[in-house]
Structures are given as C-alpha cells and as structure tokens.
Structure 1
C-alpha cells in the first residue's frame, strides 16, 4: 500500500508539473514592478550605443490606435475578440508567453478571428537600468512604420538577451536583427532607430502602464478580462474562448 501511495503521489506530482508548464503564468513567472536593481548591471552596460534621449515630441508609429494612439494593432478591425498585451522586449516572462502562444495567436489573427493590441513598456529598464526596453520598443515602432511590426516583434523575442544584459540598448544590434525581416532594414528604418523617433511615444506608453497599476509584464487582457491571472489558461483554452466568441 505504501508503495502504491508513493507511486500515485509521484504521478500526481508529474501531472501537476505538466500543468504548471502549460499555464501562461504562475505568480513567479512574471516581470514585476519594483524589482531590486542587480548590482553591476548599469556599469556592465556602460558605454553602449544608447541612442537619442527622448526629449522630443511624441510621435506615434503609423497606424497606432486607441487612447493617445498608444496601441499597435495586429489583425482585422472587425475581429470579434481583442487581445490587449502590455509587454517589454527585455522581459523573459513576455518571451515565455510569446513562445508558448505565438502559433495560436498567429492562427487566430490570420483567420480574422482575433485582433491584438500591443502596448510597449520599459519595465526592465526601470528595474535594472539601461535603455534596451525603450530602444527595442522604438525599433518595433519603426518596423510598424514599415508595415512589418509583427515579424520584427517576433524576431526580437527570438533573439532576446538575458534579462540583465542590456544588449537591445545598442542600435547596431537592433538594426542587425532587422536584417532577419525581409525588406525592413532600409535607410528610413535605420534613421528612425538611430534618431529614437518614437522614444517619447514609448515612454508615454510606459506612463499609461504605470497609471493603470498593472502588476507586471506581460499583462494580457481578452476583451478586457485579465486572462494572465487565470492559471488554468493554455493556448488551447484561449483558442476555444476566441472560437466561442466568433460562433456566438
């Protein structure tokens, strides 16, 4: 009996671990506000190409929508479901979400069933120092100007550095990654990145994130409901919710 109970307990543990890995978030898998700065991060990243300071006017990227034009839309305006994502390109939890959910999100968007509104924030810059969150978000906004936001967005997450490595602060790095998206690495894109054209817009988006008092990134809302807090959520469940909304 003891051996059977032990085997049952092990199986229960394995099942629980499998479910945990499938969830979009556990309390520990999120980039949260108020993290203590990591000693030496700022010094280690000193001297990198930080780009222009964002003291200029707020310039929204082409096609930005919503309040103060802070949302980058992906998908058809007529889609019955809208997913709102607040994210930081330096945030490892954001990468984990994107890695797990990207195929499902692409499928639903391409089918016209889901529209995504991306809001870009600079949480990790604030926590650890540096400008990689801001510069990557500016570069993504420059890609939006070129009509290639989604592809470049995915490339940034696929090439995300370690959280404490402010590699995205380097404009040369961002321009190099743009070469992975066909037709993006143009003189106009390079100028937009190096000039920090959308830096002030990114900072305004981050201010909106702080004002909304979200706990961390990513924050994921399906038609206004925070689904990132639902620990039973999986890509399959999200797909079913969107399918139900379209069938209803």
Structure 2
C-alpha cells in the first residue's frame, strides 16, 4: 500500500473519530436539555395546579355561602384542632394530615399503637389538623370531603374510630374515591353508632367545608413542607430520621415523669 493511500485512510479514520465525538457531545447536550426541560415542566405544572387549586378552593368556599363551622370540641387558634386524649397531658402531639396522603397512612400504621397507648395512659394528647394537600396536587375533592366527614364524626363523638377507619380503607393516592359522600357514609358503618341521619346530613351538606378550608390555609401559612407534619411539644419529629415509636414513647414518658 502506498504512503499516500495510508495517509488517506488515516485521515478518513480521524475525520470519522472527530464526527463521532461531535455526535456524542451533541447527544449529551440533548439529554441534558431534555432532563432540564422535564424538571421545568414538572415545576411549572405544580405551579399551575397550585394556582388552579387555590382558585377552586376560593370558588367552593364562596359557593358554600355559610360561616366557618368548627366541629364540636375543636380547640386552639380559630378552633382548628381536633383533640384526642386527656386535656392537660404533659405532652402534645400536633399532627397535620390529609386522608388521601399515603405517607400519613404510613405514619398511622407505624405509630398508632404507641400513640394510642400513651393517650390511654393520659400521658399524651393528640391535636389533629386536617389538610387538603392532595386535592391541590392531584386535583379532586376527596381530601376535603373526607376531612369534613371526619369533622362530622367529631360532632358525634366518634372521631378517633372514624379517623382510623379512613386510613385503614384509604384508596390509592390517585383514586379520588373519598370525594363521594356515599363512600364515606358506607365507611361510617364500621363505627358503632356513627351512621345516623345527623351524620349523613352533615356529610352530604358539607357542613364543615369552610372550616376544613381554613385549616388548610393555616397549614400553608405555617410554612410546612408536606403531610404528615408531626410536632411533639412544638418540635418536628417526623423530620427526625432517628425517630421511632420506642423513642417517641420514651420522650413522652420522660416528660410525664418530669
């Protein structure tokens, strides 16, 4: 093979190698742009959903046309907390929750036995604040309708049992099954004495809808990042990666002994 031919083939290979590197670089840039655009679209969509949800909330509140009706026995600022447990207990667990929220169900599943034990011992009071975060993120009304039904159960003195039933039967996060009053009334049948004409009317009429909306506004104003938000005597324990039911029990019992 002549020197000229060898040089020609080498030059061709070099050009091909250069073109391949250019193509690889182009592919990398395209992937980066696609990923970046995807993030922007997700964030943009979240912003749009937030605006739509906020507008929808305003429309529904104005459509309800009624005053903010707190459930029986509600406590705290603007009567937005539903208390469970002994008043005057040394420790208070503040829980911001959404009945459509899978993480809230996870917290319930893990901590319910310990929390129930401490409440029964008079060492802990739980104050529940109801939120409609998933309605805003995924659209729908199930969070609000379920929260209203739970407030109706509080009127009947059946909140703790109905609260647990709602989590035990929680639909998939994307399934807005709790938007249907019939479903919530059906679940009331699992709580002795709850399925009454008064409860049904409260659920169907959305008696506490404006109260639920006000509770959700308080959640947003509090600057919390998500549900559940769980505070023990004001300290966020859900964000504590070392927290366990055993550690929670120890902290509450120490406070009770002190």
User: TM-score, normalised to structure 1's length?
Assistant: 0.79
Between 1 and 2, higher relative CO (CA 8 Å, sep ≥ 6) is seen in 1
Counterpart for residue 11 of structure 1:
none
For 2:66 and 2:242, the matched residues in 1 are separated by: 44
Counterpart for residue 131 of structure 2:
121
Of Structure 1 and Structure 2, the greater helix share is in: 2
Kept after mapping to 2: 8 A contact 1:53/1:196: no
Q: How many residues align?
A: 204
Counterpart for residue 75 of structure 1:
85
| One of 96, 119, 137 as aligned partner of 1:86 | 96
For 2:237 and 2:215, the matched residues in 1 are separated by: 21
Say if 1:55 and 1:124 are closer, same or farther in 2 by CA, change over 3 A.
farther
Say if 1:244 and 1:90 are closer, same or farther in 2 by CA, change over 3 A.
same
Aligned to 1:228, what secondary structure does the other structure show? Answer: coil
When structure 1 is superposed on structure 2, of 52-61 and 127-136 the one drifting more is 52-61
Cα-Cα RMSD: 2.0
Aligned to 2:238, what secondary structure does the other structure show? Answer: helix
Q: How does 1:93-108 map to 2 (within 5 A)?
A: 93-108=103-118
Kept after mapping to 2: 8 A contact 1:35/1:127: no
Query: CA shift at 1:141, angstroms?
Result: 0.2
Q: Which runs of 5+ in 2 are unaligned?
A: 1-42, 50-59
Query: CA shift at 1:57, angstroms?
Result: 1.1
Counterpart for residue 229 of structure 2:
219
For 2:45 and 2:80, the matched residues in 1 are separated by: 25
Counterpart for residue 159 of structure 1:
169
Q: Which has the larger radius of gyration?
A: 2
